[in-house]
A and B are shown apart, each in its own frame.
Chain A
Amino acid sequence: MEAHSSEVFVIGLTVFFLACIIGYYVVWSVTPALHSPLMGVTNAISSVIIVGAILAAGPQGFDTSKIFGLIGVVLASVNIFGGFLVTYRMLSMFKKKTKKTKEKE
């Protein structure tokens, strides 16, 4: 049992370091002009901890853990919807040069 759990930890650690390396290269390839949208997206995807919150909120009945889980789901949802939408808004503003830019305002 103990050996098994340490193995799980090492696998987690392996995944962690590989993900850090991928993150390093992927983020350096992001153009500086899009650093704000990058923050928007990372903000949205870091709310993937909603997965943990859902597990906590999953069981039937009501106990402390479930309430915490539901609060977690609400908080993470604010971020997921807010993060992706605000990124969408930002990205849709970045336009290519057109001969005659049609202005809305």
Chain B
Amino acid sequence: MVAILYLISALLFIFALRGLSHPESSRMGNIFGVIGMIIAVFTTLMFKSVLSYYEIGAAILIGGAIGSFIALRIEMTALPQLVAAFHSLVGLAAVFVAAAAFYDPVAFSIGKVGSIKTASLVEMSIGTFIGAITFSGSVLAFGKLQGTISGKPIVFKFQHFINALIFLLIIFLIVLFVINQSPTIFWTIVIVSILLGFLVVIPIGGADMPVVVSMLNSYSGWAACGIGFTLSNNLLIITGALVGASGAILSYIMSKGMNRSIINVVLGGFGGEQDTSASKDNSDKIVKQGNAEDAAYIMKNADSVIIVPGYGMAVAQAQHALREMGDILKKEGIEVRYAIHPVAGRMPGHMNVLLAEANVPYEEVLELDEINHDFPMTEVSFVIGANDVTNPAAKTDESSPIFGMPILDVEKSQSVLFVKRSMATGYSGVDNELFYRDNTTMLFGDAKKMCEDIVKSLSA
């Protein structure tokens, strides 16, 4: 009976993910997920060995209240941090469950204290190891996304060598743990894994965070899998594998969006402080600068506008003002669409959520390969808070660090409007030759303020 209920719960989780293939079915999918979770929890509460309903109920209420409070209060721009924080909790929970299984193996029927089955010990320590890495890695990712820790990659000598040594040490500790089942070694594994989690994320820079967040998502799934094997629980194994696969695929999509291998991202050190040769020879080039009225005039006289939002839009919270601008243009009979690069923002799909939040209908928001061939037929590209994802150097300059990265071909549209705070380079540290083209107008200023000013000019 228990096995069947767990199976139903696992199936509901699969349907929950399946629902996300379309916005229409997604809401139902989320409900499937909730039902699956309720079934899983209540099935477990029916176990003969589970007696302390009050304590468990209280724990669920406390956690649930905290979780609900955070989820309802969070700004959509801060989603990446929130997700990172949540991942850290999954990791930590996995460590605690493994610890609990170690201290009371009888409750999980995996043996007795001091003589736990070898297989269970291995599975338990792997679950602990992945859980602890997920925990500390996510905490650091949270800090970097929140801005409490500098988003710049921190690199030092022998970094990867040290990480490899620590990894070997952990394997050694796991072997030792399996042999003597000592609590001291268990906690040493936890501490060393936490340290490794920090070290793994430390060299990875701010804009690589979409990959890191997806990777940690994946780890949290594998941690659940490890615990599932320890408890011989198929529900945990299935769910963990689903989550692990999901995170792995997202990491792959994100790395591909930057034309880099996952390994390259993980090794880190990309972006931030590189100075580029290109920036020197561009210093004498002329930049055409415009203001909100110019932008309003250019767009008002166009037939079609494609808006390219990036992380800068999220930082400036410009999505509402931007949508307002789009609405006015649409009323003028101008075709307005949005083009999203796979790595725009700080987590997969971040821009889509922000635009949805601003009531932009999802049909108007298109992915790179859906819209890229439309740029030559488009009069105005309005780039707001994005930079590297539009840089033609990715196609032409083989020496550029972003060479090969798929870009949005805004340079093919008749004119380009760039909303930027300054001439600073993008995350990759590469100068964008688009800024100096004749058909480009730079609009310097805060993204939100700029959109509001354009709205004013348009309605005047």
Query: Residues of A at under 8 Å CB distance from B?
Result: 5-6, 8-9, 11-12, 15-17, 19-20, 22-24, 26-60, 63-66, 68-98, 101, 103, 105
Contacts and interface: CB of A to CB of B under 8 A. Distances in A.
B349 A33 contact: yes
Contact of A42 (B50, B66, B243): B243
B241 interface: yes
Nearest to A101: B359
B184 interface: no
Contact of A81 (B9, B51, B64, B250): B64
Chain B at the A interface: mostly helix, strand, loop or mixed? helix
Interface of B: 9-10, 13-14, 16-18, 20-24, 26-27, 29-30, 33-34, 36-37, 40-41, 44-45, 47, 49-52, 55-56, 59-68, 70-72, 74, 76, 79, 82-83, 86-87, 89-90, 92-94, 96-97, 99-101, 103-104, 107-108, 117, 119, 213-214, 217, 220-221, 223-225, 227-247, 249-250, 253, 320, 340, 342, 347-350, 352-353, 356-357, 359, 361-365, 367
A104 to B, nearest CB: 8
B20 A78 contact: no
Give 9 closest A-B pairs by Cβ, nearest first.
A77-B63, A23-B245, A35-B349, A65-B104, A82-B67, A56-B100, A58-B50, A81-B67, A35-B348
Contacts of A63: 103-104
Contacts of B61: 77
A26 B97 contact: no
A69 to B, nearest CB: 5
B40 A89 contact: no
Contacts of B33: 41, 44-45, 84, 87
A73 B21 contact: no
Given A34-B26, A56-B100, A81-B63, A95 B49 contact: no
A77 B27 CA distance: 21
A12 to B, nearest CB: 5
Interface centre among B26, B36, B97 (most CB of A within 10 A): B97
A26 B93 contact: no
A35 B238 CA distance: 20
Contact of B237 (A15, A30, A43, A92): A15
B356 A90 contact: yes
Contacts of A80: 37, 63-64, 67
B90 A79 contact: yes
B27 A92 contact: yes
B104 A86 contact: no
A44 B64 CA distance: 12
A105 B20 CA distance: 28
B17 to A, nearest CB: 5
